[in-house]
Chain A
Amino acid sequence: MHIFYNLGKYFLLLGRVFHKPEKASVFRNQIFDEFDKIGINSLGIIAVISIFMGAVAAIQTAFNIESPLIPLYLVGFTVRQTVILEFSPTVISLILAGKVGSQIASEIGTMRITEQIDALDIMGVNSAEYLILPKIIASILIIPILIIISMLLGIFGGWIIAISTGLVSPNNYIEGIQLDFRVYDVVYALIKTVVFAFIITSVSGYYGYNTRGGALEVGKASTKAVVYSSVLIILFNLILTQLLLA
């Protein structure tokens, strides 16, 4: 029953979140702030992880090609497909659920326990819309850009390791990443990313907004936000893949 209670509260909160902002200029500035907090601040970790994961994917693929009948350009092809279809949209989203999700839940949770949200409500500001909507909009716009950067860096990481260790020649790798390229794969990845971005910010916002108690509860809300966002990402990854690729 607890899951239905939370689900109901979550949708009621979303009903309050999706309202016309009180002032357009304030809302615009908030979105730009969130671009910075969610996007720019995550760029470093995403770059490092993407490059190394692309490199590992290249090594593992090359290591598993034992038969001389299998062309070496398959390394580039496999890295590209792995990175575009699964690694960048899903794994990076899971990492963002940890980084951005905990940040959102703890930020809003702290505002709740220090009565800052009550202060907004008293002023006549729709606190749910003011605090959560800019984060949702910003994440839906900026996270797909991060994912595209991650895709490029992942493929680049594979290329670096492939040529530096002599696993495959640069030409073979380039041939592989160009082989049978479908734009729809990127579209599919970006559709998933938009859904994951919404899950990360709305679920984290929900747990932060409904924090009650003190510092301990802020920590618990932050943990719950990461856990439930991650579970939902995995679940929707399966659903969307079945819907869009099957």
Chain B
Amino acid sequence: MIEVKNISKSFVNFPALKDISLSFDKGKTNLIIGQSGSGKTVLMKCIVGLLQIDEGQVIFNDRVFSEMKLKEKKNIQKEMGMLFQGGALFDSMTVEENVMFPLTMFTQKTLEEKKDRVNLCLSRVNLENVNNLFPSELSGGMKKRVAIARAISMNPKYLFCDEPTSGLDPKTAVVIDNLISEITKEYQTTTIINTHDMNSVIEIGDKISFIYKGQLCWEGSKDEILTADNEEINKFVYATELLRRLKK
């Protein structure tokens, strides 16, 4: 379980996050939704430690991450897996080397053991015979799947996904969404997903938090969001003509 308590973050006279408190449950897909520029990515970067928070606490299973020293933070970070918006695969490495990278850096496994683990992770994301390809040779969807394979290679306790379906066609987006949801249930990870894709919300959103102008505006489930009595979230959910017609 991950908790954030009263966190705030500003960038040179611009408050990006204002006093946000949230909790993210284990074994569930916790979605942070909001418009572009609402502060979703800043919130996620604060949680994983890529950005320093100004105030508040980030707590991983009763361990106050935001107050830890660098070495202790690194130990927690080894329990994290993250899927970046663009995949963030290492260009100079093959798919196999990318997925193997955390294993090489932090385990004493033999090459055979590492290869077995890589193949297991790749098969989990439904990829085969791509071990020797470079990221530039993969499609957008394949890159995301390789990134997921890399994220789960160390059996993470916490999985973070920043806009996992951006830039993908709707069919591939559903595949990625379901993959993340299945992995969350299977590995019992605490999964946090940043998205503004309503399809993802309806598909896999166990718990949804809506951020508006750096503040927590609404929390609920995927069923509740469709009938929410909140002006801002209604504007967000029913932003398209298609959804407005469906609502009617």
Binding site for B on A (CB under 8 A): 22-23, 26, 110-111, 114-116, 118-119, 121-125
What would 10 more interface pairs be, CB under 8 Å, given A119-B88, A122-B77? A22-B106, A114-B86, A115-B86, A116-B91, A118-B82, A119-B84, A123-B102, A123-B105, A124-B74, A124-B78
Return the chain A residue nearest B160 by Cβ: A122
Determine the distance from Cα of A111 to Cα of B84 in the docked complex, in whole angstroms: 13
Name A122's contact: one of B48, B90, B91, B106 (CB within 8 Å).
B48
Q: Is B80 an interface residue (CB 8 A)?
A: yes
Contacts of A26 in B (CB 8 A): 104-105
Contact of B77 among A23, A111, A115, A123 (CB under 8 A): A123
Give the residues in chain A near B85, CB-CB below 8 Å.
115
A115 touches B105 (CB 8 A): no
From B75, B88, B102, residue with most partner A Cβ within 10 Å = B88
* Cβ contact within 8 Å between A122 and B104: no
Residues of B within 8 A of A (CB): 48-50, 74-75, 77-78, 80, 82, 84-86, 88-91, 101-102, 104-106, 160
| Interface contact A123-B84, CB-CB below 8 Å | no
List 23 contacting pairs A-B, 8 Å CB cutoff, sorted by A: A22-B106, A23-B104, A23-B105, A26-B104, A111-B90, A111-B91, A114-B91, A115-B84, A115-B86, A118-B50, A118-B88, A119-B88, A121-B49, A121-B77, A122-B49, A122-B77, A123-B78, A123-B102, A123-B105, A124-B74, A124-B78, A124-B106, A125-B105
Report if A116-B75 is in contact (Cβ < 8 Å); known contacts: A23-B104, A122-B50, A124-B106.
no
| B102 with A116: CB separation less than 8 A | no
Hey, which chain B residues are within 8 Å of A122, CB to CB?
Answer: 48-50, 77, 80, 82, 160
- Nearest chain A CB to B93 CB, angstrom units: 10
Chain B nearest CB from A115 CB (Å) reads 4
- B2 CB to nearest chain A CB (Å): 14
Given contacts A123-B77, A124-B75, contact A118 B105 (CB under 8 A): no
Question: Is A116 a contact partner of B90 (Cβ separation < 8 A)?
Answer: yes
**Residues of A close to B77: CB separation below 8 A:** 121-124
Give Cα A121 to B105, complex, Å: 12
What are the residues of chain B within 8 A of A110 when measuring CB–CB?
91
Quick one: which of A22, A23, A124 has the most chain B CB within 10 A? A124
* Shortest beta-carbon distance from A28 to chain B in Å: 13
Closest to B71 in A: A124
The answer to whether B84 touches A22 (Cβ under 8 A) is no
Measured CA separation A115–B91 after assembly (Å): 11
